[in-house]
């Protein structure tokens, strides 16, 4: 189940970025579960990772290898290789060595990523055995297959592409992501991989990605859980005919805006595919004193099981939203200044229910598949938006049966 129509787009090739997939039989033998990405020799690579203290073994290895001018990414689904201690770390390293042997490269230039069940040892022999197959299928046109290979409980592959003109030359940015549950990113989503043919230095690419992630993947939540395996990678092959992007240039701002747009769209697709989701909710917080305050209010509402189940039931039980705002930790909040809306319907004004609010008007909005909840705090100019989904019976079922 997912909210809206979400078809995978036609993704143009990115010169210098090749993708290959295969089935390694990590958890199932029906679809591909191993993805290998190869970058051009002069490509630059940026990445951000989960802040979960129990970060997975591949996250530890990828952080170490990121400084070594990465050339390859190896991603497996079906097993997170998290909570596996020193053995998991050695297993992640072993998969890097396998890629290096196949590519005649260096193991410390391989970034490993895993997603799936936590606490089970990675079937490293299966992964290593699958590497040659993925290597043999490397191709610039495999974005659809790549998006499918990294899926776990996702119901559809997620992809976004945009092309911009810089100094008369085309620059393309492609992105794929996966994630449907354990989504409360504290850096990114569970896994996201973006690539471009732009020419840009690694420090500037890293800064661009970090800013985009903060305003996109860090503004979504499905269930309030931050994964042990979150990672977001941006690769730049440098093979576009456009000149190198430099800091403080108009070209950089245009490029950064496009990266942010791609990230926002990928993030929204994750929420639309939230486990068991039937509704998409945009929590808009206006007139806050700071961005941090606005995000805190937005996420307090988005994380509330009572709010999320009310939306699943299409029940205009606005008191649950009011209560969430009240416990968001806003210091010295003036209640009579706060306004709360369901789409264009004002439900709270002057400290209580709006005089012109009717249950029928609230019901009309709650019956929709996509709903905007707007909170006007009346205390500043800051504005932030948080995306979330409802809690349905299927969310409980999917996660109760996740290992069976």
Question: How do strand 72-79 and strand 34-39 relate by DSSP bridges?
Answer: antiparallel
Q: Is residue 6 part of a domain?
A: no
Task: Indicate the residue among 248, 272, 296 that finishes a domain.
Answer: 272
Cβ–Cβ under 8 Å, residues 33 and 24: yes
pLDDT at 189 (0 to 100): 61
Is the domain of 65 the same as that of 160? yes
Instruction: Please state the pTM of the whole predicted model.
Output: 0.94
Q: Is residue 11 part of a domain?
A: no
Is the domain of 57 the same as that of 195? yes
Is the domain of 266 the same as that of 285? no
Q: Is residue 10 part of a domain?
A: no
Q: Is residue 4 part of a domain?
A: no
Is the domain of 295 the same as that of 206? no
Report the interhelical angle of 319-326 vs 291-303 (nearest 10°).
140
Is the domain of 349 the same as that of 292? yes
Count the domains in the chain: 2
Q: What pLDDT digit, counting tens, does each position of 141-175 carry?
A: 999 999 999 999 899 999 999 999 999 999 999 99
pLDDT at 399 (0 to 100): 82
Q: Which domain covers residue 235, as residue numbers?
A: 17-272
pLDDT at 212 (0 to 100): 97
Identify the bridge partners of residue 162 per DSSP, sorted by sequence position. Answer: 173
Q: Is residue 241 part of a domain?
A: yes
The residues of the chain scoring below 70 in pLDDT are 1, 188-189, 404
Query: Which of 291, 310, 292, 289 lies closest to 373, judged by CA?
Result: 310
Active site residues: 189
Q: What pLDDT digit, counting tens, does each position of 297-330 carry?
A: 999 999 999 999 999 999 999 999 999 999 999 9
Is the domain of 87 the same as that of 213? yes
Task: Indicate the residue among 221, 253, 272 that finishes a domain.
Answer: 272
pLDDT at 1 (0 to 100): 67
pLDDT at 294 (0 to 100): 98
Is the domain of 146 the same as that of 231? yes
The CA distances from residue 244 to 38, 204, 330, in Å, are 21, 11, 44
Q: Is residue 22 part of a domain?
A: yes
Is the domain of 67 the same as that of 206? yes
- CATH number assigned to the domain comprising residue 138: 3.60.70.12
pLDDT at 180 (0 to 100): 83
- CATH number assigned to the domain comprising residue 299: 3.10.20.340
Cα 80 from Cα 145, distance rounded (Å): 20
Cβ–Cβ under 8 Å, residues 380 and 337: no
Q: Based on DSSP, count helices (H) and strands (E) in the chain, helices before strands.
A: 11, 15
Cβ–Cβ under 8 Å, residues 387 and 273: no
Residues belonging to the chain: 404
């Amino acid at each position: 189940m997912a909210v809206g129509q979400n078809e995978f787009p036609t993704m143009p090739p990115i010169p210098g970025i090749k993708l290959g997939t295969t089935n390694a039989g990590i958890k199932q033998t029906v679809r591909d579960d191993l993805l290998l990405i190869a970058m051009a020799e002069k490509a630059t690579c940026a990445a951000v990772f989960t802040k979960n203290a129990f970060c997975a073994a591949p996250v530890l290895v990828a952080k170490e290898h990121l400084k070594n001018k990465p050339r390859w990414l190896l991603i497996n689904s079906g097993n997170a290789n998290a909570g596996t201690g020193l053995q998991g770390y050695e297993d992640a390293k072993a998969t890097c060595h396998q890629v290096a042997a196949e590519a005649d490269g260096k193991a410390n230039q391989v970034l490993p990523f895993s997603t799936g069940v936590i606490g089970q040892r990675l079937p490293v022999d299966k992964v290593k055995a699958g590497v040659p197959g993925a290597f043999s299928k490397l191709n610039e046109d495999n974005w659809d297959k790549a998006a499918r290979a990294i899926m776990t409980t996702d119901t559809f592959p997620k992809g976004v592409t945009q092309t911009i003109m810089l100094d008369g030359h085309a620059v393309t940015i492609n992105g794929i992501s996966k994630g449907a549950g354990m989504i409360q990113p504290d850096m990114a989503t569970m896994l996201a991989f973006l690539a471009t043919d732009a020419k840009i230095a690694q420090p500037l690419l890293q800064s661009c990605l970090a800013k985009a992630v903060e305003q996109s993947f860090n503004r979504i939540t499905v269930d309030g859980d931050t994964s042990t395996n979150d990672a977001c990678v941006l690769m730049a092959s440098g093979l576009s005919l456009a000149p190198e992007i430099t800091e403080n240039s108009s070209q950089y701002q245009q490029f950064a805006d496009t990266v942010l747009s791609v990230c926002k769209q990928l993030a929204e697709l994750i929420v639309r595919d939230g486990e068991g989701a039937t509704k998409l909710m945009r929590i808009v917080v206006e007139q806050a004193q700071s961005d941090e305050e606005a995000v805190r209010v937005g996420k307090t509402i988005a994380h509330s099981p009572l709010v999320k189940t009310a939306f699943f039931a299409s029940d205009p039980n606005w008191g649950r939203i009011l209560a969430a705002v009240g416990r968001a930790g806003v210091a010295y909040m003036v209640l009579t200044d706060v306004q709360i809306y369901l789409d264009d319907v004002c439900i709270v004004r002057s400290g209580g229910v709006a005089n012109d609010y009717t249950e029928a008007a609230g019901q009309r909005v709650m019956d929709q598949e996509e709903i905007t909840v707007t909170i006007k705090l009346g205390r500043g100019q800051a504005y932030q938006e948080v995306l979330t989904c409802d809690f349905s019976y299927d969310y409980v079922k999917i996660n109760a049966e996740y290992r069976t």
